[in-house]
Amino acid sequence: MISNIAELIADRIGTMPASERRAAQTLIANYPMIGLKTVAEFSAAAGVSSPTILRFVSRLGFQNYPEFQSSLQDELAAQLQSPATRTLNPPSPGGGTVSPMLEATLDNMRETFRHLSDKQLADIAARLADRRGKTFLIGGRFTDPLARYMAAHLAVIQPNVFHLAGQESMWRDRLIDMGKRDVLVIFDIRRYQNSLVRFAEKAHQRGVQIVLFTDQWLSPIARFARHVIAGRTAVPSAWDSSAALFVVAETLIGAVTRQLEAEGAKRIREMESLR
């Protein structure tokens, strides 16, 4: 079974005329980057003419050059999705139900944080730590618990943190309390919920700053969001995993806490004395 273009070339290079073989060799030598450049560059690098490159990709079975490039890109994307571990760690011979799930989850987290800069998190944390406005949190069918989790922590270290629970009509009415200085944290992964999208839009219209936790395909809410956190969710299970988003949430909670250190500590002590 031939699964990638490199193998395909190795398979057919024997049947190719001299110039096309040179094209094949240059591609293999600079795989796959040279194939993503223009025909002209490719041909120059291989020391052959453009038509030769085109005949070459055509011989590989592609209709045209762009199609060939797309194929290379897909291959590359698949590679980038699964970082080193996938190829390094054989899928744990024990074949338990645990390992694959755990491995995938760990990968998801690494991958999620790879796309997340310190600066971005710091920005969001600063926004959440800004005490001039209120903070609202809400989530979808399966992600609402994440919103609750975050709300539970934030509420300890600062006032004016509200988790929007209950019926849609309930939180819709809260819109009236929201304004420019306020922040709305939304969790929404596939399948995206229309009610949330509508809500986000209305909040956005009121000038509320939206922080969105979503999956890599981006909820439509991204359209209205000031900050978007895209977590990986794919695991070998019937369900998507929110674990990566959960960890991002915890990281943010930690960052906000640090920023509010001084006042937060006082507040926590005060709260303890009340319990």
Partner DNA sequence: CAAAATACGTAACATACGGTACAGCGCTCC
Partner DNA sequence: GGAGCGCTGTACCGTATGTTACGTATTTTG
The string of DSSP letters for 155-221 reads HHHSS-EEE--S-HHHHHHHGGG--TT-EEEEEE-SSPPHHHHHHHHHHHHTT-EEEEEEETT--GG
In which residue are the tokens 């969790």 written? 187
Site for a second copy contains 203 (CB under 8 A):
no
Contact partner at residue 17 from DNA, a second copy, none, CB < 5 to 8 Å by partner kind: DNA
The reply on whether position 49 binds DNA by CB under 7 A is: yes
User: In angstroms, rounded to a whole number, what is the distance separating the alpha carbons of residues 92 and 89?
Assistant: 7
Among 2, 7, 33, 38, binds DNA (CB under 7 A): 38
Site for a second copy in 234-253 (CB under 8 A): 235-239, 241-243, 246-247, 250-251, 253
User: Which of 6, 28, 34, 39 touches DNA by CB under 7 A?
Assistant: 39
Specify the stretch interacting with DNA by CB under 7 A; choose among 46-54, 156-164, 213-221, 226-234: 46-54
Does the protein bind a second copy through residue 115 (CB under 8 A)?
yes
The answer to whether residues 3 and 36 touch, using CB atoms and an 8 Å cutoff, is no
From DNA, a second copy, none, interface partner of 20 (C-beta below 5 to 8 A by class): DNA
- Measure the CA–CA gap between 165 and 169, rounded to whole angstroms: 10
Residue 50 contacts DNA per CB under 7 A? yes
51-110 residues in contact with DNA (CB under 7 A) are 51-52, 54-55, 57, 63-66
User: How far is it, in rounded angstroms, from Cα 116 to Cα 191?
Assistant: 23
Residues that contact a second copy, how many (by CB under 8 A): 87
Distance of alpha carbon 244 from alpha carbon 242, whole angstroms: 6
